[in-house]
Structures are given as C-alpha cells and as structure tokens.
Amino acid sequence: MKYIITSILLFVIYFSVNKYGVSANSFDDSSNVSDAFNIYPVNLVDFKLTLVKYIHHVCEKNEERLTQMKSDVSECISAHDLAKDKCEVKVLRLAPFNIENKEDLDEYGQDYKQCTLPYKNLVG
C-alpha cells in the first residue's frame, strides 16, 4: 500500500513539474512561443493560455525598445489585453483543437503577436 501511494505521489509531482513548471512558464531564452512546449500535439486551450504569458514576456523583454518608442511595458500589456479577444478569433478561429507541430505553433504565435501588439519590432 505504501508503494502505491508513493508511486502515485511521484507521478503527480512529475506531471506537475513537466506540465506547469518547465514547459508553459519558462520563456527566458525563448524566441518563439513553441519553445514553451515539449510534447506534441498541443491542446488549443493550453496554447491560448501560454500565448498570453508569452506576449507579457515579450513586452517585459523589450522594455528598453519600448522606452525608445515613447511607450512602456504597462502600455504594451494593456494593448495586448485590449486586442486579445478580437485577435484570438481572428488568428485562432480555424486552428485545430490539437496543434500537431512546432511550425504551426510558431506561425499562430507570430500572427497573434502581430495582431495584439501595435509595435512592429519587438523581439520575442
């Protein structure tokens, strides 16, 4: 009985770290939203949630560039939040429920970033 409980606990910890700790939340060295995923296919709901975190990361990463454009991180995030719903419909309305490969994720991510952010030269 003790081994069963320990096995279940280890499985839950492994799943939690892999799903939430490593994959969808770490963008430090990422240049594309697809870098946040290790396992394919990617569920569209998970991808949408990750897109929001990724765009916030892009805004924070480009603070200096935003300052040069007489803007700031909070304005960048606000611009995203205002355009989010419209752009989800525009960009992801025909996306499959499970996105099968990295190239499709990158394409959807780039289209979404261009739609939601009014700044053209932000590096992601």
The residue extents of the domains of the chain are 2-116
d(CA 10, CA 67): 46
Q: Cis (ω within 30 of 0) for the bond into 41? A: yes
Q: What are phi and psi of 91, to 5 degrees?
A: -90, -40
- Provide the token pair at 61: 């990463």
Q: Could you please report the per-residue DSSP string of 19-37?
A: IIIIITT--TT-SSGGGG-
Amino acid letter, residue 69: M
Q: What is the pTM of this model?
A: 0.72
Contact 65, 122 (CB under 8 A): yes
In tens digits, what is the pLDDT along the chain, a chain of 124 residues? 777 887 776 666 665 555 544 444 456 655 778 888 888 899 999 999 999 998 998 888 888 888 988 888 999 999 999 999 999 999 999 999 999 999 999 999 999 989 998 877 666 5
Query: What are the tens digits of pLDDT across the range 45-65?
Result: 999 999 999 899 888 888 888
